[in-house]
Amino acid sequence: MPFPVVEDFVASSDGTPDTTVAATMPTTVNSGDMLISIIGMYDIDDPGLFNFTPASGWTNKRGGATSGAPGTWGGLVIAAKIADGTEGGTTVNHSTDDAVRDAIHTYRISGARSTLDGLHISTITVDTGSANPNPPSYNPGIGADDFLWLPCGMAFDDGQAWTAAPANYTDLKSTAVGGENSGVSVGSARRELNTASEDPGAFTLESAERCLIVTMAIQPAGKVATGVLVAGAAQVSGIADLGNKLATGALQADAAVVSGEALTEFTHGFFRLFWRRRRRSD
Amino acid sequence: MAVTHPTSVRNTVANTVVDLIDAGAGAGTLEYQTSGDVEVATCTFSATAFGNAASGIATAAAITPDSSATGGTIAKARAKDSNTNEVFACSVTAIGGGGDIEITDVSVNAADSVDTTSLTYEAMP
């Protein structure tokens, strides 16, 4: 099967702390597209761990959080949806129960499976502070396939840019908002690779940050079958075919139609054989 | 001359055949198999598998995909009632291969989805 295709990408961010996490959708979204939002959030305004609620119709496929400076938390959520075709150009409002700053990458993907079970996501791992966050090795557990691999992560709290993708990965995306001690960023990159498992190398950050990182594998669309079944009235094309069908019983099974020519040929053949044997016996 | 049948007879034949898929207590299945008759994927017909035939052709209602196939190389398909009684068998090939059913890829990985998006059954002429 062909690899899933990234049809569009949109970045959005909000440096003003609030409980709305607004993800801008691509201008065009077709029914059946897989929409994936990689959402990095940083909570420095309300002490304690915050909760994330996806917008109606969206699924929180994977979420994780880690504490930073005293009382602060960073969170990473992978929210996804199989599009119904009405999402194009809209803003999807997810929500939190504490005010957060956020940076978001939204991918529109075609050629993926028609259900979210085709979006495979590793556990989220924590990098407590390096300039090279390393997404985890991941095996979706379904054997080799034409996966679109999409490692990604969030970094806080200085809003550092993601400056290099893992080796062999392309299309690095980096979105940052806020500044020192108040910033959050997300980074992502992708690779088409037919394999059962993958261990992406490390991203590079502008400078060391606390990070949450994850590896995603997007499975290609399944097989699609269509059928036009025509109950056969088997045609007998000649004496040899007739003999073959008689021998195999196909005539009974197929409710065969013996064409006039075939029947004539068969009859003539029968009488030729009959007279030949009759002459010999005389 | 080949034997032909009026449309009303063809409709009766088509309905008779496809209604056999509904004979069991549950929904029938369309089982994709290898050339050696090993199951590769199984899609499930609606409780009433096909609508009433028109012009000798019955059209299948929605067929539930197999979201996690066993896997293998598909060569044929068999329609069965829920008691696994076979109703018909047909060939399956890749697109353009001329099979009764054509599929985007006959090579199915384990856990792949297999979706039968349309299926019609036409009675003999």
Task: Return per-residue pLDDT of chain A as tens, 282 residues.
Answer: 589 999 999 999 999 999 999 999 999 999 999 999 999 999 987 777 889 999 999 999 999 988 888 788 999 999 999 999 999 999 999 999 999 999 999 999 999 988 898 999 999 999 999 999 999 999 998 778 889 999 999 999 899 999 999 999 999 999 999 988 889 999 999 999 999 999 999 999 999 999 999 999 999 988 888 999 998 755 545 556 555 555 554 444 344 344 444 444 544 554 455 566 666 655
For chain B, residues with pLDDT lower than 70 are: none
Question: What's the pLDDT score for residue A93?
Answer: 98
Rounded CA separation A183/A169 (Å) = 26
Q: From the CB of residue A32, how many other CB atoms can be counted at a distance below 10 Å?
A: 15
Question: What's the pLDDT score for residue A42?
Answer: 94
Residue in A144, A222, A232 closest to B114 by CB: A222
Contact B32/A at CB under 8 A: yes
Q: Nearest-CA neighbor of B60 among B83, B27, B91, B82? A: B27
- List chain B residues with CB under 8 Å of A231: 13-14, 17, 88, 121-124
Contact B19/A at CB under 8 A: no
Q: Nearest-CA neighbor of A186 among A160, A165, A206, A168? A: A160
**Do the beta carbons of residue A188 and residue A158 sit within 8 Å?**
no
- List chain A residues with CB under 8 Å of B110: 142-143
Type of residue found at A166: P
Tell me the residue ranges of DSSP E strands in A83-182.
Answer: 91-110, 119-121, 125-130, 145-157, 162-164, 170-177
**Do the beta carbons of residue A158 and residue A179 sit within 8 Å?**
yes
Handedness of CA B28, B32, B33, B38 (dihedral sign): negative
Type of residue found at A101: R
The three-class DSSP label of residue A185 is: strand
Rounded CA separation B69/A222 (Å) = 10
- List chain A residues with CB under 8 Å of B67: 115, 117, 222
Rounded CA separation A140/A132 (Å) = 24
Residues 230..269 of A with a Cβ closer than 8 Å to B: which? Answer: 230-233, 235, 255, 257, 259-260
Question: What's the pLDDT score for residue A241?
Answer: 54
**Closest chain A residue to B73 measured between Cα atoms?**
A223
Q: Nearest-CA neighbor of A212 among A35, A51, A63? A: A63
Predicted model pTM: 0.68
Cross-chain Cβ contact A142/B122 below 8 Å: no
Longest dimension (CA), chain B: 49
Question: What's the pLDDT score for residue A252?
Answer: 43
Question: What's the pLDDT score for residue B119?
Answer: 96
Question: What's the pLDDT score for residue B3?
Answer: 86
Handedness of CA A193, A199, A203, A209 (dihedral sign): positive
Handedness of CA B36, B38, B40, B41 (dihedral sign): positive
C-alpha of B56 from chain center: 16
The three-class DSSP label of residue B89 is: strand
User: What would the DSSP string read from start to end of B45-77?
Assistant: --SS-BPPPBTTEEEB---B-BSS---EE--EE
The three-class DSSP label of residue B109 is: coil
First to last CA, chain B: 12
Type of residue found at A75: G
Rounded to 10°, the helix A239-248/A260-281 angle is 90
- List chain A residues with CB under 8 Å of B87: none
**Closest chain B residue to A142 measured between Cα atoms?**
B111
Q: Nearest-CA neighbor of B117 among B63, B72, B80? A: B63
